[in-house]
Structure 1
């Protein structure tokens, strides 16, 4: 999440274009919806002639109202993002194609509830792309949260403590095969050792439309690893009241992210893989009793 420099100039330009085009799309969609509502209401208003008698409204090919509001101002969040990434020397870790996968889903679902495991240089981008929604970041490094908040105080982030290590991955994978880990419930009350129980209550109490797992650190043996985060993301998705959750896992080129995403987010729910990013769509398991953990 914190970013490994890769083609900094090209990716920076791409990110700025992404943000601008996405918000341009939102503005045009909002404007079109507004105009359509006005035109519909206008067509329903009965016309009267000079004598006060209602007239039948004649069809016309030329609407009397403009199709779009005459003036649209760029949201301040977009302006902030453009300036931030134009002046940032470090580019986000995900590639153009990887970001495109999540951007496509955000384009369909935003504004929505978006939970991100990890706080990094791409965090302002995700918040901006989910304009009008709620984007929450979970980060293991308290000093890093303080550093980012000084630069971007508008981000909503929380400190999380992980008590597992990458070296425990195989053991946890076996534990995850036990029956108690197949039961769908609130992670706070799950009997499965893989479930994260120390997250802020608002994380458990919110139904997340998108979840991105790009943390905690997982590239050396003593690091926390993403075993619990991946399992908990899948449990949250299954435990929602209804609907479905799009879950993204980054760095699937590594053993933990590869194995745990396929086991607990399920190969049958996988929609796409682009580079090191996998996209899963997991339906609610509470709306259909007896649904198997994986399809």
Structure 2
């Protein structure tokens, strides 16, 4: 989630264009209801003064860019650090957000792309889960509008093979509330909101997983899949996993999010659509 210091200028400009397009869409949608002329049969009942007041009210409130979007635009147009995902990878999630937002979006990881995800889900709830407490405080000072929670991981990348073997057992493939799971892959001490909210999208882009002693994303991927399967009210959850070029992200996403549910892979990003098992608990873990 936290990129290295510099990225090519063309990616930055493309992201800026994405922000501009979003803002333009918001402004145009705000104006649409007021672009239709007043029906002739009612025009005589509206005074000139009332019409002027309506226009003044519309111009001051209906077309104003929300502060969160203007903040994002300014930040990404002036920052030398851009999101770690490529434009094509970002576009996969952005396309789903365009259809579903405002919605509930859970992100494992807090980074320089967090303001972008929150802005693309304008009007919805975007929650970030982060392993580094000091980093959370740093981001909160810069972007107090972002909602983030601290997570403690008790695994390491060098344990991945053992956890994969355990994950194939019945205690890990039984669908239910992960807080009561006997599986060591289940994250049971997350913020209560994580278990209570019906998530529409879940992004796994953390925790750190590029060296042997790092916590790795084994538990995050597994928990994302189980939360999606345990979704109340039916429906589907879109789950995205980044860095699938690495062994852990590759194997664990295939095993616990299921290749049958994979919709697309773009670069290092995979997109899965996982249905709720609530009404059919006897369903196979992976079809």
Normalized against structure 2, the TM-score is what?
0.88
Poorly superposed stretches of 4+, deviation over 3 Å: 5-8, 26-32
Aligned pair count? 271
- Structure 2 residues not aligned, in runs of 5+: 43-54
Is 1:170 the equivalent of 2:126?
no
Normalized against structure 1, the TM-score is what?
0.86
Match of 2:206 in 1: 215
CA RMSD of aligned residues (A): 2.2
Provide, for residues 75-121 of structure 1, a one-character-per-residue CA deviation record: whole Å limited to 9, x for no partner.
11110001111121111100010000000000000000000000000
Match of 1:145 in 2: 136
- Is the 2:131–2:150 Cα contact (8 Å) retained in structure 1? yes
* Counterpart mapping for 1:1-295 below 5 A: 1-5=1-5, 7-29=7-29, 31-32=31-32, 34=33, 72-241=63-232, 242-295=234-287
Determine the C-alpha separation between the residues in 2 that align with 1:279 and 1:136: 19
- Structure 1 residues not aligned, in runs of 5+: 49-65
Q: Secondary structure of 1:14's match?
A: helix
- CA shift for structure 1 position 5: 4.5
Determine the C-alpha separation between the residues in 2 that align with 1:244 and 1:189: 22
- CA shift for structure 1 position 173: 0.3
Determine the C-alpha separation between the residues in 1 that align with 2:269 and 2:63: 35
Q: Which has more helix, going by share of residues?
A: 2
- Is the 1:6–1:91 Cα contact (8 Å) retained in structure 2? yes
- Is the 2:7–2:81 Cα contact (8 Å) retained in structure 1? no
Determine the C-alpha separation between the residues in 1 that align with 2:6 and 2:269: 16
- Is the 1:269–1:281 Cα contact (8 Å) retained in structure 2? yes
Structure whose alpha-carbon radius of gyration is higher: 1
Determine the C-alpha separation between the residues in 2 that align with 1:231 and 1:289: 17
